[in-house]
Structure 1
């Protein structure tokens, strides 16, 4: 029987999927076969990606390995992985890079289940990239001092696939995946040490990905907090919620475009992350006491 990721050659023990707040995207295998013939996407192609927050009972056992290479990044809690006859604990910051067709088992710790960001990938350059990452990190299981930047990139992979399985979407996912794997290869093996605070990491992700929206649940999972903890931090330190902070970022982008370009208001709305120009205009007027057109007509200030 196939598991939730559509593979017939693996067994799944314990909870399969259905974790609260999870995200999971699976690229149809017919689309994968076609994309692998593309001169760019075919070099490194993401076939599946997701996030499992606090994944109690999560376990994967693949006696013959997965068809694709697998990257796992733990941003909270703990788990374990057994590959090549050796078992390793995986705590916050732990990353696992599993080569295709190699037997492995991994799962969440019972008392403190991990929050796991992951993607499967294949392509002409994929095996070489895995080997290079293993050589740099000293093996398939390693540690990142701060996993949030890599989790942010995995989130961008998910967003790219979720935006539509077009060539452009697959290539955006490819770019974010390359960056994530390069981060693992370049920064793996670092011992735990000082890093940005969870709030700083969350703000950094939002600034880097604006105007795209990130849910509070996904943002919290990325930085190792609950949604309520992260929301409380935003209100305490910044005086507003994560969602209102994202609105501020989108409005800042809109002001920049209205002042510095001749784009029509509908195009400004799209660039600022709003699909509905009328809704954008109402939101803009609510925040600035001017419509977008009136804001532009007033001329640049300063």
Structure 2
């Protein structure tokens, strides 16, 4: 476990239960920055640190990339440009590249942090625009869930592999997250959605990728048990069951409207194992994917070369 020493002499560390952290190899970053899309905005690192006791960073010369931090629970601090800020739930910090800064969790109430580092030819303009809108590096989001949902999608994209398409997907989600921060600074924060609605919106946006209940609860400021109870009370299912429903809805759409093989439908709906997908589909629908497609359910019956029109 790595440690850094802050200027009050205390140690701050990496490595937290339930964390996710993705670091793109710098050779891959250099190649991506020559791409016409990711050359404009490239995410180099991203992560989620839940209840990150004694976490922090001290960078006397700043980071090589710009840094976005979003706090969804607990409290931390950030020092930059000669000012120290308290960062609590909804606190969002944008740190420009190559500027000295330090940040960390408060010992008594450690923060839950979502973050990514980014670079590219458009990155500095986004940071400057956000600072101008907010009047400084710190913005408060009354509802951080939409931005955190996008950060989660950045993490998921990087986790899917070191490919151009993954980097483009991460860049798109990052761009959306950053522009939301800019818009919040201009208009002031606000959201009328309940925690349940925000959680469900994230699951729909992230499908078919699976989001853990703990990460989902962190996004909307609840405990995992509170969120699960809300899903059961209002929707009659757990968050994981809700995700299965979303996957199965997408599976039906693909079986109805395409000629993709069942194995390809499984992959498109987030299942690496076609046999497991078939068992899940049969359990939910009472018929196998092949039986569903060949019956009256599908738009295209097996063996038909006619598309109704």
The TM-score with structure 2 as length reference comes to 0.90
Query: Quick one: distance in 2 between partners of 1:292 and 1:163?
Result: 26
Is residue 11–residue 62 contact of structure 1 (8 Å, CA) maintained in 2?
Answer: no
| 1:229 positional shift | 2.2
- Alignment match of 1:72 (pick from 51, 69, 72): 69
Instruction: Indicate yes or no: 2:138 matched with 1:141.
Output: yes
Query: Quick one: distance in 2 between partners of 1:191 and 1:112?
Result: 26
DSSP 3-state at the match of 1:268: helix
Query: Quick one: distance in 1 between partners of 2:173 and 2:12?
Result: 29
Query: Quick one: distance in 2 between partners of 1:270 and 1:301?
Result: 19
- Alignment match of 1:18 (pick from 15, 20, 25): 15
Query: Quick one: distance in 1 between partners of 2:274 and 2:297?
Result: 22
Is residue 54–residue 114 contact of structure 1 (8 Å, CA) maintained in 2?
Answer: yes
Query: Quick one: distance in 2 between partners of 1:59 and 1:281?
Result: 45
DSSP 3-state at the match of 2:13: coil
Higher mean Cα deviation, 182-191 or 238-247? 182-191
Instruction: Indicate yes or no: 2:272 matched with 1:271.
Output: no
2:87 corresponds to? 90
Instruction: Indicate yes or no: 2:127 matched with 1:130.
Output: yes
- The structure-2 alpha-carbon separation of the partners of 1:283 and 1:222, relative to structure 1 and needing over 3 Å to count, comes to same
Is residue 79–residue 89 contact of structure 1 (8 Å, CA) maintained in 2?
Answer: yes
Higher mean Cα deviation, 220-229 or 26-35? 220-229
Is residue 143–residue 189 contact of structure 1 (8 Å, CA) maintained in 2?
Answer: no
Structure 1, unaligned runs of 5 or more: 5-9
- Alignment match of 1:168 (pick from 131, 145, 165): 165
Query: Quick one: distance in 1 between partners of 2:48 and 2:252?
Result: 33
- Alignment match of 2:103 (pick from 88, 103, 106): 106
Is residue 144–residue 190 contact of structure 1 (8 Å, CA) maintained in 2?
Answer: no
Instruction: Indicate yes or no: 2:220 matched with 1:251.
Output: no
Structure 2, unaligned runs of 5 or more: 300-309
Query: Quick one: distance in 2 between partners of 1:261 and 1:19?
Result: 43
| 1:188 positional shift | 2.4
| 1:111 positional shift | 2.2
Query: Quick one: distance in 2 between partners of 1:189 and 1:125?
Result: 20
DSSP 3-state at the match of 1:42: coil
DSSP 3-state at the match of 2:12: coil
| 1:30 positional shift | 1.4
| 1:11 positional shift | 6.0
Query: Quick one: distance in 1 between partners of 2:25 and 2:168?
Result: 16
- Alignment match of 1:55 (pick from 48, 52, 56): 52
Query: Quick one: distance in 1 between partners of 2:104 and 2:25?
Result: 25
Name the count of aligned residue pairs. Answer: 296
Query: Quick one: distance in 2 between partners of 1:29 and 1:194?
Result: 38
Query: Quick one: distance in 2 between partners of 1:152 and 1:100?
Result: 24
Instruction: Indicate yes or no: 2:214 matched with 1:217.
Output: yes
Query: Quick one: distance in 2 between partners of 1:195 and 1:111?
Result: 31
| 1:261 positional shift | 2.0
Alignment of 1:232-243 (within 5 A): 232-243=229-240
